């Protein structure tokens, strides 16, 4: 099994520089662990785009169309009710419900897609056993490398001059 290496930094700026170096070295299996979002890492690590919004849009439109179909079917075919001679297909009044249903479905779809794409929930992970990894959610910034041709020595060499707090291999 390929070794999982962790390099710890004290600030996000150095982590970004380290991530750029690792990517330029052509290494695979790069990731970072930070206590808050560092948007530059997406580019620095070369992460694929998060294709989550098209799913939300699709779900929202589908729910809106379905809601309209439901309203139309019940008001025109299943349960026609003459209210002061107004048309049965009074479509503008259906649109409020279509909007609410569309937004709700898009939000639910985004929520589910977030968990599906991120591999969560996953309560156990080798990383949680790594020393000081509990600080990745507080004030430490980690670069993770999982590449068959890289060991701790090569990673330390690559990070020369960036001053990582530690470079370690995670027991798996």
Partner 1 sequence: MSPRGGGTEGLLPRSTSYGALVGLVADALMRRNVGWRWYAAFGVTLAMTLMLAGCVTWLFLRGLGIFGNNTAVVWGFPIANYVWWIGIGNAGTFISAALLLTRQPWRAAINRFAEVMTIFAVAIAGLFPILHLGRPEYAYWLAPYPNVMGLWPQWRSALVWDFAAIISYLIFSLLFWYLGLIPDMATLRDRARTRLGQVAYGVLAMGWRGSARHWQLHDAVYRALAVMALPLVVSVHSVAAMDFSASPMPGWQETIFPPYFVVGALFSGFGMVIVLTALVRLGLGLQAVITPRHFEVMGKIVLACSIGMGLSYATEWFYAWSLGSRAELVHLHKLFGGEYTPLYLTMLACNLLAPQILWIPQARRNILVVVCVAIVLNVGMWLERILIIWNTLSHGHLPSMWSVFWPSIFDWLVLAGSLGFFAMMFLCFARLLPAVAMHDLGKLLRERRKES
* Burial of 16: CB neighbours in 10 Å, binned 0-12, 13-18, 19+: buried
Q: Is 82 in the site for partner 1 (CB under 8 A)?
A: no
Q: Is 38 in the site for partner 1 (CB under 8 A)?
A: yes
Neighbours of 43 (CB within 10 A): 12
SS3 120: coil
Task: Choose between 135 and 154: whose C-beta lies nearer to partner 1.
Answer: 135
Neighbours of 96 (CB within 10 A): 10
Q: Is 24 in the site for partner 1 (CB under 8 A)?
A: no
For residue 53, the 8-state DSSP code is H
Six-digit token string for 57: 């849009």
Given 65, 90, 131, 169, the residue binding partner 1 (CB under 8 A): 90
Where does this chain touch partner 1 (CB under 8 A) — which range of 20-28, 106-114, 146-154, 161-169? Answer: 106-114
Task: State the Cα–Cα distance between residues 40 and 65, nearest whole angstrom.
Answer: 38
Six-digit token string for 121: 């929930």
How does strand 166-170 pair with strand 4-9? antiparallel
Q: Is 77 in the site for partner 1 (CB under 8 A)?
A: no
Q: Is 41 in the site for partner 1 (CB under 8 A)?
A: yes
Query: What minimum distance in Å lies between the beta carbon of 151 and partner 1?
Result: 22
Q: Is 66 in the site for partner 1 (CB under 8 A)?
A: no
Q: Given the rule CB under 8 A, which residues bind partner 1?
A: 11-12, 31-39, 41-42, 45, 47, 50, 52-53, 56, 70-71, 74-75, 78-79, 81, 83, 86, 90, 93-94, 96-97, 99-101, 103-104, 106-108, 110-111, 113-115, 117-118, 120-125, 127-128, 134-139, 144
């Amino acid at each position: 099994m390929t070794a999982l290496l962790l390099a710890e930094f004290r600030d996000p700026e150095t982590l970004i520089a380290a991530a750029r170096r690792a990517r330029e070295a052509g290494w695979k299996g790069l990731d970072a662990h930070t206590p808050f979002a560092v948007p530059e890492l997406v580019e620095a690590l070369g992460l694929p785009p998060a294709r989550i919004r098209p799913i939300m849009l699709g779900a929202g439109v589908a729910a809106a169309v379905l809601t309209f179909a439901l309203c139309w079917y019940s008001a025109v075919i299943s349960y026609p009710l003459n209210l002061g001679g107004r048309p049965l297909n009074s479509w503008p009044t259906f649109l409020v419900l279509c909007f609410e249903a569309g937004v709700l479905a898009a939000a639910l779809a985004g929520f589910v897609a977030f968990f599906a794409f991120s591999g969560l929930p996953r309560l156990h992970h080798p990383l949680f056993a790594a020393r000081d990894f509990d600080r990745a959610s507080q004030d430490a910034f980690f670069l993770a490398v999982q590449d068959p041709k890289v060991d701790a020595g090569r990673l330390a060499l690559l990070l020369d001059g960036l001053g990582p707090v530690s470079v370690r291999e995670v027991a798996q």
